[in-house]
Amino acid sequence: MSGGPRPGPRAAAAMALVPVKRRRTAAAAGPVLPEAAEPGRFPGVVLCLVERGLGARRRALLAGRARAAGFCLHGPGSAAVTHAVAEQCSADEALAWLARRRGSTPGDRTETSTGLALLDLSWLLESLDAGRPLDIEPRHRLPVSGVTPSKEPDPAVLPAYGCQRRTPLAHHNAMLTEALETLARDAAFSGDETRSLAFTRAASALKALPRRLGSLRDLAALPGVGKHCRRVIQEVLEDGSSAEVEAVRRSERYRTMQLFTGIFGVGTRTAASWYQEGLRTLADLRATGPRLSRQQQAGLQYWEDLATPVTLAEAEAIRELVQAEAQRILPDATVTLVGGFRRGKPMGHDVDLLLSHPEEGREQALLGPLVASLEQQGLLLYQQRQPNTFGQEPSSSSMDQFERCFAIARLALPGAGDPGAWRATRVDLVVAPRSQFAFALLGWTGSRHFERELRRFAGRQRGLALSSHGLYDPQREMFLPATTEEEIFQLLGLDYVAPTERNA
């Protein structure tokens, strides 16, 4: 295919009827973006980004992201457009803009007459997050007429701790949170945890906002957003991107650190020392072979599969397989899918499974035989077990001390056509005794930031020490028992937050 869509005869005819002056104004409105020629990955979906409301720079940035995600984009002149995306404008205004750009009158084309959907930017942002065009919900549609009322933030200020807020998976401020989270990662790559946390906190607060942040004034409602974050937010709100963030994303150091820390078994420090030594690619690492740990070698060997997101269906399949095997060994053993999947994520980087048994102590006889059996069946490509050290060694870090196994599983892919098809998948098996199960369930459901906030709240506000093992009261020198997550929230004096609202 070559060139962009040409105006059809009808559009060309309409163009001829437009007074010369109008035509000039339309042409002078801005440089015409080169239109995508590729058909895109999603048949039946042709996007047009309405500059009215988005601004030229933001429009170009979004267009780049949409194309990279496989969307087909056409200009306003194309009759093939199915989804027109705008921001802060009404359906009428968007139609009027489209009509002006194609030199026709707004009455030529309406949403209902042609199946053209007039959508708010939230639809595109959520679709980009999902990696596919989402079904259109009523809330995605532009309001019919009149200027979108500039919504004021809730007068109620967001509570200070992430664990006091409800944070759904799909939120309204993806552009801003992605920018802030890039800076958070970059700061963590430099070992500056405090700075990293400041960016993470600001991003997390934005995720809990019930609507898109409209202006910097709305920030008053957000707790813990410092000067630097404000500057970045302002830049993104005004220009659609932040120069600082874009520079980070382009930098060799950031890209290399992203690549290296994405390898199973490679932490920030290791990645940073490799970068320091001049290593840049996986090929560079493979050439340095002998210095890699067994875990890192496996991480590198299966890198491509492990970098491919695990789907919920794959995670469920692994959970069922592990449960069947566990129950063969211990009939009442339980296997619970935790981590991001329990928070409602459709994709994940690994499969986190929490193992237990209704009878305290019986769980100790589970992991050894389970791993041996899975290994014997050729289902494990890598495994590394750690014993339970709870109550034996003083815990040095925030890491918990459950018996566990880090593994790479060989998951058969029955639907892939080739009957022998399989993929490597990261699996964490964690074993908790019944008395600690609720705490382990809460601790392993995440998100990481939600957990951090729960622990900070417990310590600062309640003088209690929360971990995945229990809730310790130092005054009474005892662990406070709980058998459900609801009870733990109650002990902390917090409103219950459901797993799907813990995406802080």
Active site residues: 350, 352, 428
Question: Among all chains, which residue has been given the structure tokens 């906030």?
Answer: 453
Shortest Cβ contact with ligand UTP: which residue?
446
First to last CA, the chain: 44
- Residue 89, classed as helix, strand or coil, is coil
Contacts with ligand UTP by CB under 6 A: the residue count is 16
Q: Taking CB within 5 to 8 Å according to partner kind, which of Mn ion, ligand UTP, none is near residue 218? A: none
CA dist., res. 13 & res. 457, Å (int): 67
3-state secondary structure 421-483: CEEEEEEEEEECCHHHHHHHHHHHHCCHHHHHHHHHHHHHHHCCEECCCCEEECCCCEEECCC
- Point out which span in 53-61, 70-78, 245-253, 341-349 binds Mn ion (CB under 5 A): 341-349
Q: Which residue is nearest to Mn ion (CB)?
A: 339
Residue pair 494/458 in contact by the 8 Å Cβ criterion: no
Piece in contact with Mn ion (CB under 5 A), picked from 148-156, 232-240, 331-339, 407-415: 331-339
Interacting residue with ligand UTP among 87, 111, 451, 453 (CB under 6 A): 451
# chain residues binding Mn ion, by CB under 5 A: 5
Asked if residue 211 lies in contact with residue 121, where contact means CB atoms within 8 angstroms, the answer is no
Minimum CB distance to ligand UTP smaller for 348 or for 433: 348
What residues between 205 and 264 interact with ligand UTP by CB under 6 A?
none
Contact pick of 40, 75, 103, 339 for Mn ion (by CB under 5 A):
339
Is residue 446 part of the contact set for ligand UTP (CB under 6 A)?
yes
Gap between the Cα atoms of 86 and 459, Å rounded: 45
Tell me how far, at minimum, the Cβ of 265 lies from ligand UTP, in Å. 13
Binders in 346-365 for Mn ion, by CB under 5 A: 348, 350, 352
Compute the CA torsion angle 261, 266, 269, 275 (nearest 10 deg).
-60
Asked if 90 contacts 64 with a C-beta cutoff of 8 angstroms, the reply is no
* 314 sits near Mn ion (criterion: CB under 5 A): no
344 CB-near residues (< 8 Å, 6+ apart): 169, 499, 500, 503
Amino acid at the residue 70? G
- Closest separation in Å from C-beta 437 to ligand UTP: 14
Binding of ligand UTP by 339 (CB under 6 A): yes
CB closer to ligand UTP, 90 vs 196 = 196
Q: Does 468 bind ligand UTP (CB under 6 A)?
A: yes
Chain residues that interact with ligand UTP, rule: CB under 6 A: 339-340, 345, 348-350, 352, 399-400, 443-444, 446-448, 451, 468
Chain residues that interact with Mn ion, rule: CB under 5 A: 339-340, 348, 350, 352
